[in-house]
Structure 1
Amino acid sequence: MRLNIFCVCILFFPLQGCVTKQALATDEPSYEESARQRLFSYTTDNKFSEYLDETVFIPIFVRNKEHSLPYFFKAIEDLDYDKKRIYLWIVCDHTKDDSASQIDAWVSGVRSQYKSVETEIDTGAWHYPGQKSDLSWTTERHLRMLELRQRALIKAREMWADYIFYVDADNILMNPSTIRHLIDKNKVLVAPMLYSPSSYTNFWGGMNNQGYYVRTDEYFPIRNNEINGTFPVALIHSTYLIDLRKRKSREIQFLPLRKDYKYDLDDIIIFASHCKSVGVEMYVDNTVFYGYMPVPLDESKSLEDDSDAFIHLRMEVMTEPPVGVGIEMQKSAYIQEKVLTPTKLGFDEIYVINLKRRKDRRSRMKKVLKMQGIDYTIFDAVDSKTLGEDYLAEMGINMLPGFIDPYSQRTLTWGEIGCFMSHFHIWDDVIEKNYAHVVVLEDDVRFQPSFVRKVTDLMGRIKAANLKWDLIYLGRKKLKNVDEFPITEVEGLVEAGYSYWTIGYLLSKSGAEKLKDADPLSRMVPVDEYIPIMFDKHPIDEYSENFARRDLIGLSVDPLYIYPTHYTKDVNYFSDTETSSVWEVDVNVNDESADDVKITDDKVAHHRAKNEL
């Protein structure tokens, strides 16, 4: 099997001299501009730099990649290499999406720029015998891939190309100097290390005697850039460069199979096994950032899942470190990309809460929502920097007597007041406009793959079950180690326990009315303390007892659909709520009273990334 199982983790790539949020308000370059300058610079000590670039043969094999081709081909266009020294061979077969016409359009636009462009497009059979889905890797498909790679190798040798550069059609080489960096490594066979939204990448640290993947001690240090260099590894795949000038490269082949080959018929394992048998070392290089690749899906998934996974990859990449690199993937001007028609997913409104001064977050949210075909309304947040005692008096805001934050042991901050009021005004808007159901999102969320389908399917199940609900968390920080009972009528829902964050939730009109009618402004607590109080799951009775009616029907999706972009202590974490000044009121906090309200969950204090408004 091509698919390897890895634990999900946050992407990590150490970026020196990260731009601070404060810099975004100045005339300095944007985060993306600075990141491009930092990541994609190229210098060389090559004494032959005054000569023509060596010739490179690039074979590209396409099957059902209409979702990635506009971005893949843009990365090829942007390679900082003399195009008149590049030969392209593009093969498209067994495909039922729009890949073939996209290839035709792109080739028509760029053909004259390259040394040569050859295409083979087969519009015949779109499936392989015995495949269970379009993502199945059958024996025939593995053999077809080996055949194509061997044909490419022969073509490159026959035209006396200096290098052959294999690149999978969904691997996005964001670094324009990729080819030059790899050539500088002076290896027979070397791969640029590519990131994904998990710990998956394009090399194996080890392989056992049966030809299966083995996790080595060096894998994560290499993958996470804790060590840098060009490392010998057991297997590389998807994207790699072969130096055809070196004598040892003459021994490389994909087919025919060796008579003593004893492993599964898998094209990447076959290639690695052959290289090992002839003494050709495989290397992976992580000295610079190269780009990204999607995590392969198993054959139970569909092409729609594959497309959703690529959209998710694009969203993750444009999020700042440690999630991504803060750079948006660009698409080719030669390909007309399919644009999703924006919808509200069956809701009356989708609110996105954003501070006017946080243009960086607004820009990112607009892009990721457009990627997913989500129609929305930007709801201007209440800015804590504009608040004062006059505003508190006008709105009738008073802090709940005796309130002390259970973790930071302080009173309310001005940012928490602004955050609460932002949500409060949305509840008011829902009631005033008589909306039945809405979505509320904050501007610092990361969407899980297939978010739109997950929400749409969930609402379908809720409707079918005629389930009553007031508020459903889409993302949250679950606190206190307590059982949360599943909603038996609707798969994927649980009764919400004590939770932090209001990064995203579904809200009904009845929920908005309950939240507003409890008169929370006259006894204010942070909004993510207030909501658990209202569904009667707050652990501090002294706070809950101030609100007589606590019958909000609070549920949560499980697993979650969204997460915050950054957590406390992450690089680029910045909270307009948590870092704002404290509302100075007369509260006597001594050690004894603090002990009375403190919740014994040590881990939460580190991870509480509350409502960054």
Structure 2
Amino acid sequence: MELNHFIINAINAKERQHNISSVFHRLGLEPRFFPAIMGNQLTKDQIGHYVDDGGLLTLGEIGCALSHLSIYKKFLQTNEKYIFVFEDDVEIRDDFPQLAPAVADFIGNQKKGAVLLLYKAKAHTRKVQSIGQSSVHILRSMAGSAAYGYVINRVAAENILKAQPPLAFEIDAWALYYKLLYLDIFCLDQNVVFLNQELANASLIDAVDNRHTRSSRDIKKIKDYSFQRLLRRYSWEKRLFVEYKRLERHIDSLFYDEDY
């Protein structure tokens, strides 16, 4: 089958490239690689140009986010409605080729920005629809994290690209994008894509920089400041609408499942 996708892979990570190639070939797919941007290879001037994060992000997180954003730019140069994005430390279930067309159609036909995580999000969720005759269901989610396997549509990619220069958050700040009305979050009720934990623990991208020692309070303060900075780009009418949607989500959460 044809699958519009990219796999983010560090050029020197040959073992990971071999592993994910084997996974894709087993599924009858030809892997399409995107060379990862390595944060430790960026100059101070480049980081100063691309990043304004208040000290939130590690070099690994910066490189990771810039890699995903670069994929969005390439995606938007095409006429495709969606793109699947994978990181190179994943495993994929054997039934993925049967599920992927329905997942792609669902996201590609969303009028608003939308992302669908190819695993079960740890969040309030609500069932939307089943995928064909399979036991897998698409869920609407109120939050989500991680970016190792997902599909995103054009509107969502455009919105994130407008929000993230300068880079202020991890690329997988799905809940924050959701709160700013950039996209709706969907996920699956089963992990169709999941991490190869051994490879994930040995990530070259994540190993380029030690995580800064920060308290959760400091992290929240930085993120709140960056959120407000993005919110100030809106007209006062749209800011009121964001607040209205926040209250609506709070009410909606009463009718969502809490199995996380």
Structure with larger Rg: 1
In structure 1, what is the equivalent of residue 201 of structure 2?
573
- Deviation of 1:596 (Å): 7.1
Q: 1:438/1:492 Cα in 2 relative to 1: closer, same or farther (>3 Å)?
A: same
Look up the equivalent residue of 2:51 and give its one-letter code.
Answer: I
In structure 2, the partner of 1:504 is 149
What residue in structure 2 maps to residue 396 of structure 1?
A: 50
Give the direction of change, closer, same or farther, for the CA distance of 1:572–1:376 in structure 2 (3 Å limit). closer
Separation in 1 of the partners of 2:215 and 2:5?
43
**Structure 1 residue 575: Cα displacement:** 2.7
Deviation at 1:458, TM superposition (A): 3.5
One-letter amino acid of the counterpart of residue 176, structure 2: I
8 Å CA contact retained: 2:10, 2:204: no
Shift of 1:483: 2.4
Q: Which runs of 5+ in 2 are unaligned?
A: 224-260
Alignment-derived partner of residue 434 in structure 1: 79
Question: What's 2:28 paired with?
Answer: 373
Amino acid aligned to 1:575: S
Secondary structure, counterpart of 1:385 in structure 2: helix
Q: Deviations over 1:223-282 (max 9, x none)?
A: xxxxxxxxxxxxxxxxxxxxxxxxxxxxxxxxxxxxxxxxxxxxxxxxxxxxxxxxxxxx
Percent identity over the alignment is 19
2:104/2:151 contact within 8 Å kept: no
**Cα distance change of structure 1 residues 378 and 596 upon mapping to structure 2, 3 Å threshold:** closer
Residues 82-161 of structure 1 aligned to structure 2 (within 5 Å): none
Q: Is contact 2:89-2:199 (8 Å) kept?
A: no
Where do residues 148-187 of structure 1 align in structure 2 (5 Å cutoff)?
none
SS of match in other structure, 1:421: helix
What is residue 290 of structure 1 aligned with on the other side?
Answer: none
CA distance in 1, matches of 2:219, 2:162: 30
TM-score, normalised to structure 1, is 0.32
1:579 partner letter: A
**Aligned residue in 2 for 1:344:** 2
Of the three residues 166, 174, 191, the one matched with 1:531 is: 174
**2:15 corresponds to which of 357, 360, 381:** 360
How many residues of Structure 1 are paired with residues of Structure 2 in the alignment?
A: 218
Q: What residue in structure 2 maps to residue 473 of structure 1?
A: 117
TM-score (norm 2): 0.72
Q: Does the 8 Å CA contact 1:475/1:503 hold for their aligned counterparts?
A: no
Aligned counterpart for 2:187 among listed residues 552, 556, 581: 556
CA apart distance, 1:523: 4.3
User: Which residue is 2:258 aligned to?
Assistant: none
Question: Offset of 1:572 from its aligned partner?
Answer: 8.1
- Give, in angstroms, the shift of residue 590 of structure 1: 6.7
Q: Work out the CA distance in 1 between the residues paired with 2:70 and 2:2.
A: 20
Residues 361 and 443, structure 1, Cα contact 8 Å, conserved in 2: yes
Conserved? CA contact 2:143–2:185, under 8 Å = no
How far apart in 1 are the matches of 2:32 and 2:43?
27
From the superposition, tell whether residues 595 and 515 of structure 1 become closer, same or farther in structure 2 (CA, over 3 Å).
closer
Q: Is the 8 A contact 1:413 1:577 kept in 2?
A: no
Question: Considering only aligned residues, what root-mean-square deviation do their CA atoms show, in Å?
Answer: 3.2
Kindly indicate whether structure 1 or structure 2 has the higher relative contact order, using CA contacts under 8 Å at least 6 residues apart: 2
CA distance in 1: counterparts of 2:21 and 2:195, whole angstroms: 16
Query: Partners of 1:467 and 1:582 in 2: how far apart?
Result: 39
Which structure is higher in helix share?
Answer: 2
CA distance in 1, matches of 2:42, 2:143: 29
Q: Is the 8 A contact 1:413 1:581 kept in 2?
A: yes
Q: Are the structure 2 counterparts of residues 364 and 591 from structure 1 closer, same or farther at C-alpha, using a change threshold of 3 Å?
A: closer
- 1:378 & 1:466 partners in 2: Cα distance? 26
* Pairwise CA distance, 1:505: 0.7
Query: Residue 127 of structure 2 aligns to a residue in which SS?
Result: coil
Q: Which residue of 1 aligns with 2:42?
A: 387
Contact in 2 for aligned 1:381/1:419 (Cα 8 Å) = yes
Return the offset for 1:502: 0.6
Amino acid in the other structure paired with 1:354: N
